Amino acid sequence: MSTLLEIENDAIRLPPPPRTPRTLRVALAGCGTVGGELVRLLHHGAAEIRARHGVRVRLVRVLVAHRGRPRPAELDPALLTTDLDAFLAEDADVVVEAIGGVDPALRIARTALGRGRRLVTANKALIAAHGPELALLARRHRGRLDFESAVAGGIPVIRALRDSLGLTGIARVRGILNGTTNFILTRLDEGWRYADALADAQARGFAEANPARDLSGEDATDKLRILAWLAFGIRPDALVLRRRGIDPDPERLAADARLLGGAARLVAESVETESGVVAAVEPVIVPLAGPLGRTRGEENVVLIESRSNGGITLSGPGAGGGPTASSLLADLVRGAGRLARPAAEPPVPVNDTREHRWALSVVRTIHAAGVLDRTLARAGVPTSTVLADGDRRVAVTEPVGWQRIDLALRVLGAELLAPVVSRVEVSV
């Protein structure tokens, strides 16, 4: 056990939580959508938490950026501070981080864990970038790091991977990890225009004012890096990952899926193959009746295939203040499970060379269809089916690796055809 990776892999197996005191002093960083909901849950659920878990949770300090913003009526205003140093100096048993981003979240996390405290966070960006370092810090100082709410909001997927499933050897983790894009794609399935679907998602609080990280697949990428870390023991930043979002033309993506008899979904997947672990976040045309096609609106779903235990499917609300705060609360009062993976040598991350069928669609101009066909032929990509619908032409390929498609796209892109590409998992 001498290499950094081995030490850090080992560090995923965190020590059991320190004995929970009867009164749990909690310092909360961030009181927005998630933090505010946690304040309400703690207030209204105090009696039940005491009865079921034997602890009295007492908020001792709440860090925010702006003093004047409206806060939940349940929050004692005297607890609010905008002074980071005063917050860090607070004597708390658990620090809950619900700010987001890396700065100052990383400083808060390092300080809490370096003092042997428990840190509970909803922050996927922080864990995707610094998870192994923070897990190691927790282990060294006998603190504890929990981040159930960072992936798939209210679905206990981290617990599933850390607990029993982690012992059985994971073969594949796959799912829909971004509620915003799933909500939009479902609306497009129903015939909505993209602009209206996005506006609806924003009005319902499922999409931020700037949804770029959701649409581009970056948000799902952070979450997949965390799941692959727990499933395979690969450092989140070392995973070799292909990322394509639902931008720039979600309407065409949904129309292509309809034409092929399936549903377009932004699928995040990491699989252990014979050569190593591959990963991708990309649009996939999936069967309507399967677990991914049936996942609609802001819901998330995670399928975990274990080598000896078959597969399980976890689904539920992927985001939103309520579900996310309830996962924070579960970490807060219980501590999470322990284990990620047996101590075996972790597999290596490798490029994804698996073969799939792909749908490439172009808008037909005088010459576009011919260019699409010629380019695929020149890149050595056999086409099995070509469908036309209105002004679109959709070519479905035989199974080939992404590298061939990428080559074809470079040529097509150069000719400004802006093809939309999805992986195809329906029979055409």
Ligand X SMILES: NC(=O)c1ccc[n+]([C@@H]2O[C@H](COP(=O)([O-])OP(=O)(O)OC[C@H]3O[C@@H](n4cnc5c(N)ncnc54)[C@H](OP(=O)(O)O)[C@@H]3O)[C@@H](O)[C@H]2O)c1
- CB of 145: closest distance to ligand X in angstroms? 14
- CB of 89: closest distance to ligand X in angstroms? 15
Rounded CA separation 147/166 (Å): 16
Question: Which residues make Cβ contacts (< 8 Å) with residue 76, sequence separation at least 6?
Answer: 59
Q: Can the peptide bond before residue 104 be classed as cis, meaning omega within 30 degrees of 0?
A: yes
CB nearer to ligand X: pick between 58 and 69: 69
Q: Are 260 and 385 in contact (CB under 8 A)?
A: no
- CB of 30: closest distance to ligand X in angstroms? 3
Q: Scanning the structure block, which residue is given the tokens 């992986």?
A: 423
Rounded CA separation 86/50 (Å): 29
- CB of 4: closest distance to ligand X in angstroms? 26
Beta bridge partners of 144: 118
Q: How much helix, strand and coil, in percent to the nearest 5, is found in the chain?
A: 40, 25, 35
Strands (E), 240-298: 241-243, 262-272, 277-287
Rounded CA separation 150/135 (Å): 15
Q: Are 113 and 221 in contact (CB under 8 A)?
A: no
CA nearest 387: which of 253, 288, 251, 260?
260
Q: Are 276 and 349 in contact (CB under 8 A)?
A: yes
Q: Are 285 and 256 in contact (CB under 8 A)?
A: yes
- CB of 295: closest distance to ligand X in angstroms? 17
Which residue has the CB atom at the shortest distance from ligand X? 32
CB nearer to ligand X: pick between 180 and 397: 180
CB nearer to ligand X: pick between 111 and 361: 111
Catalytic residue from among 159, 187, 223, 252: 223
Q: Is 223 a catalytic residue?
A: yes
Q: How far apart are the first and last CA of the chain?
A: 50
Rounded CA separation 130/150 (Å): 13
What single letter denotes the amino acid at residue 239?
L
CB nearer to ligand X: pick between 223 and 341: 223
Tokens of 368: 């576009």
Rounded CA separation 136/144 (Å): 10
Between the CA atoms of 322, 317, 246 and 293, what dihedral angle is there, to the nearest 10 degrees?
A: -170
Tokens of 3: 């290499």
Residues near ligand X (CB under 6 A) are 30-35, 63-66, 69, 98-100, 104, 122-124, 149, 153, 319-321, 324
Neighbours of 377 (CB within 10 A): 12
- CB of 196: closest distance to ligand X in angstroms? 22
- CB of 389: closest distance to ligand X in angstroms? 36
CB nearer to ligand X: pick between 1 and 209: 209
Neighbours of 384 (CB within 10 A): 12
CB nearer to ligand X: pick between 152 and 424: 152
CB nearer to ligand X: pick between 31 and 220: 31
CB nearer to ligand X: pick between 123 and 397: 123
- Distances from the Cα of 236 to the Cαs of 224, 244, 280, 341, 389, in angstroms? 8, 18, 13, 15, 41
- CB of 279: closest distance to ligand X in angstroms? 20
Q: Could you give the residue numbers annotated as active site?
A: 223
